[in-house]
Structure 1
């Protein structure tokens, strides 16, 4: 059975590849645009240098301070006797629930963690590298509300969830299906994870994230992955990546620890992410925040290696500043960008893949504030060298809202980032010496042979921006960017066609879900 499922995994990829090869026009559109439902762009292989803000002295200082925090202050592992025993057996000083780490213990454990790994998708052509020079964009994660295409802010439903999975599948520069793209509150809390994981498996063939809201829900995710990929394939390969948040400052709770143990034992990836609102959950300074982040990541990431040496783990961070007047989180400001740059350097020194950033904003709608704040966050995300980018599209209102229009606008920007990451073309064609010779002084390049040969793909073509004349813009209805995004989003959803999934596998997944749901009463808290 397992071997048959693994063979089907390969066969599905072949069918999809043959279908893709027929889309020449779509391929040309995708080559010059990051926003249309066409041939998918591969994950980014950055050809540009990373930007670094800390020198050797600064990095060494923060590492020294983090070691001091781990040894003197310690990290709480709450309500998890197994975790405390593992740390004690590993040589840590365990005092109640607080673990104090001898200098070098965490780093020595992390030597077994892979520097890069592949997250396999059910369509092998959609598999992604995590680490190295790779950057993978994944959509918004976690909001309980949506801002829909009729302008309403309301609680999210499973239909919204499926729509965002479909949009992520269609977006050429979105490399990943994500996880909790919104929280479908119309399904019981104890059962919705089944529908969410199934939606990623059925409505997309890109890699996806698992449930972490309870250890048993993580177990369900792994069980469903084994139905989809085959048990042996899952044990030997990474097919799920999962978000494990530290309860900052310096606490890992039983829920996150339980999920982390499930995924690490099954060789699935975890992103150990301190969730930081600086000034409330970390010091107000960049250096102080980096120190705490490093300490928390060292403790959490090394714990996964106690569970299963070699299990893939990422150095994650989510860092925001806050308004010192209201306490509300703020985005697109300089300090979180400096944290991202510094944390990326620290991750590279640990030889761990790095997660940060996205298209973050505090705005309630897809307006100028949303655009500026998202652009500021996204630019530093790419330039710091992030390997996995959660919240790359769709984030509004400080993470409370998944926005349809915002998703489309962000996806356009992701295409621009993808093109920017390609760097400067220094090939013979890129040098364009034949064009310079042909045109000579005083003429123009519009009609020369080099321009004619390259015009279709020479410049990124935005799906959202209006660069026509004022008169044409007026004649076409004076549409704002968010209105154009609204129309494009509707066209995308209307054009959606589900990728092939073997009927036997789909039936197996549905049977598993039905059995699990039938085994417990509904719970909405």
Structure 2
């Protein structure tokens, strides 16, 4: 069996704060991640809109749900649950129903959802809190392609998937192993979820996301957790999350709702995310997109509470703009960043954890555009109070590609954000008057006692920045940051060591995977 796990099950709605370890900086390459299970934010959130404007958005979401409704497909059990709770159901066909909800109904169902919960990792030191003032960074999710400066863009493989799990585990600035970091296209679609979940379990000892692409794959993910953690522990604690997308505009398909029900029935967490492309599947104007996002995500979250009141659930927001010249999605732009700020306010009013934004970019290279767009989007997650930030590292090419170099660049940025999120401590020690008094006017402070006490921790020390004078940089080859990131990911993989796992547990997981694969033929669609 794995390491003994003794952390509490999950935090109640009333328990609004928990102590997270403070981040610290250190020499480049230093890995203090065991001291950084998640960020406890020390800076306030930014409230963009007035209460009056927020109420207008909530009223618009209520109108969407009451007057237009949500279409449910191929899951009569989900429809039955909502009908029993008070929804008005109109049959569209034998496998489709329109559900409408009176204002206030969905919010009342969400009252049993926890405002904050713990997702346990197999290494208890890496368990994360999600909600309140806790903030968790996880790698990007869902790309069919991978890219690096050596081989260019190509379809992802299971080796790429394992590499990214290892890079995430090695980063001191990511807290969560993520989920489908890239699609391992060299394994059959109906079997690859087993290899992906196993990779997270074997090559990382952090919390992770399970499969959601079919109900039976969700069940397999949970069953593998029972092997890893023990059935009794899984019955009472959150150890896995599923990341579910609505089918916008205003549709919940049966694969999604059945997967949501599987996670909720097992007491496991789920994230509920409309993927809204302005002008295509959502209103072009951001206020309308936010209202639609709120409506869809609330209904999806509410399903968990109908299955199992108290099941952990996360409100989700993925707002994106569009190039109106070409119809292509655009990421890392200003307007969705503003929408994220508003979603933060709305999530706090609902007292639900929030997932939104990340290091988004439509750039095709790990270049200035990639990091400019990433910073615009990521800062909106930081300022809005997001609790779970998927896509924190590696997102490139409009999420079509997972980039090795951008993974390293983004991870380094996450390290800088750790320092930013700590806030500014004002005390006799940090005011440093003794540093000035020690030698007096006109003298440098390099050797003062105050400097010696703080020089290791005062500033974030980037592993990738080159802050040398131009002449020194030029003499050393004039290497740019993307090239430094290329060297960095290779060195990191070369030095990687897998966290220990009990041999009996590993054998049981492999046996489960072998039996499941043997029971089905390969399916490539």
Normalised by the size of structure 1, how large is the TM-score? Answer: 0.94
Q: Specify whether residues 12 and 343 from structure 1 end up closer, same or farther in structure 2 by C-alpha distance, changes over 3 A only.
A: closer
Q: Indicate the larger mover: 448-457 or 100-109.
A: 448-457
Contact 1:34-1:411 at 8 Å conserved across structures: no
Q: Map 1:173-322 onto structure 2 (within 5 A).
A: 173-322=173-322
The superposition leaves residues 409-438 of structure 1 with CA deviations (integer Å, 9 ceiling, x where unpaired) of 100000000111000022332121211322
Once residues 440 and 57 of structure 1 are traced to their aligned partners in structure 2, the CA distance between those partners, rounded to angstroms, is 55
Partner in structure 2 of residue 408 of structure 1: 408
The superposition leaves residues 48-71 of structure 1 with CA deviations (integer Å, 9 ceiling, x where unpaired) of 000111111011111111111110
Give the CA deviation at 1:36: 4.5
Partner in structure 2 of residue 352 of structure 1: 352
1:58 counterpart (53, 58, 62): 53
Contact 1:135-1:389 at 8 Å conserved across structures: yes
Partner in structure 2 of residue 152 of structure 1: 152
The superposition leaves residues 393-417 of structure 1 with CA deviations (integer Å, 9 ceiling, x where unpaired) of 0000000000000000100000000
Q: What SS does the corresponding residue of 2:402 show, helix, strand or coil? A: strand
Give the CA deviation at 1:389: 0.2
The superposition leaves residues 212-267 of structure 1 with CA deviations (integer Å, 9 ceiling, x where unpaired) of 00000000000000000011111100000111101111111111111101000001
Give the CA deviation at 1:37: 4.3
Once residues 140 and 33 of structure 1 are traced to their aligned partners in structure 2, the CA distance between those partners, rounded to angstroms, is 26
Q: Map 1:495-510 onto structure 2 (within 5 A).
A: 495-510=495-510
* Runs of at least 4 residues off by over 6 Å: none
The superposition leaves residues 13-58 of structure 1 with CA deviations (integer Å, 9 ceiling, x where unpaired) of 9xxxxxxxxxxxxx9x963367654544331000100011111101
Contact 2:5-2:122 at 8 Å conserved across structures: no
Partner in structure 2 of residue 77 of structure 1: 72
Q: What SS does the corresponding residue of 1:9 show, helix, strand or coil? A: coil
Q: Map 1:416-495 onto structure 2 (within 5 A).
A: 416-495=416-495
Q: What SS does the corresponding residue of 2:163 show, helix, strand or coil? A: helix
The superposition leaves residues 336-355 of structure 1 with CA deviations (integer Å, 9 ceiling, x where unpaired) of 01110001110111110000
Once residues 457 and 42 of structure 1 are traced to their aligned partners in structure 2, the CA distance between those partners, rounded to angstroms, is 18
Q: Specify whether residues 375 and 36 from structure 1 end up closer, same or farther in structure 2 by C-alpha distance, changes over 3 A only.
A: farther
Once residues 24 and 297 of structure 2 are traced to their aligned partners in structure 1, the CA distance between those partners, rounded to angstroms, is 38
Once residues 386 and 421 of structure 1 are traced to their aligned partners in structure 2, the CA distance between those partners, rounded to angstroms, is 12
> Is 1:9 matched up with 2:3?
yes
Structure holding more helix per residue: 1
Contact 1:34-1:414 at 8 Å conserved across structures: no
Give the CA deviation at 1:149: 4.9
Q: Specify whether residues 162 and 255 from structure 1 end up closer, same or farther in structure 2 by C-alpha distance, changes over 3 A only.
A: same
Contact 1:473-1:479 at 8 Å conserved across structures: yes
Q: Map 1:304-343 onto structure 2 (within 5 A).
A: 304-343=304-343
Q: Map 1:91-170 onto structure 2 (within 5 A).
A: 91-96=86-91, 97-170=97-170
Q: Specify whether residues 12 and 92 from structure 1 end up closer, same or farther in structure 2 by C-alpha distance, changes over 3 A only.
A: closer
Contact 2:314-2:354 at 8 Å conserved across structures: yes
Q: Specify whether residues 51 and 12 from structure 1 end up closer, same or farther in structure 2 by C-alpha distance, changes over 3 A only.
A: closer
RMSD between aligned alpha carbons? Answer: 1.7
Q: What SS does the corresponding residue of 1:442 show, helix, strand or coil? A: coil
Give the CA deviation at 1:445: 2.1
* Equivalenced residues, count: 506
Once residues 57 and 249 of structure 2 are traced to their aligned partners in structure 1, the CA distance between those partners, rounded to angstroms, is 17
Once residues 259 and 153 of structure 2 are traced to their aligned partners in structure 1, the CA distance between those partners, rounded to angstroms, is 31
Q: What SS does the corresponding residue of 1:10 show, helix, strand or coil? A: coil
Once residues 164 and 79 of structure 1 are traced to their aligned partners in structure 2, the CA distance between those partners, rounded to angstroms, is 35
The superposition leaves residues 171-201 of structure 1 with CA deviations (integer Å, 9 ceiling, x where unpaired) of 0010000000000000000000000000000
Contact 1:241-1:269 at 8 Å conserved across structures: yes
Q: Specify whether residues 343 and 79 from structure 1 end up closer, same or farther in structure 2 by C-alpha distance, changes over 3 A only.
A: same
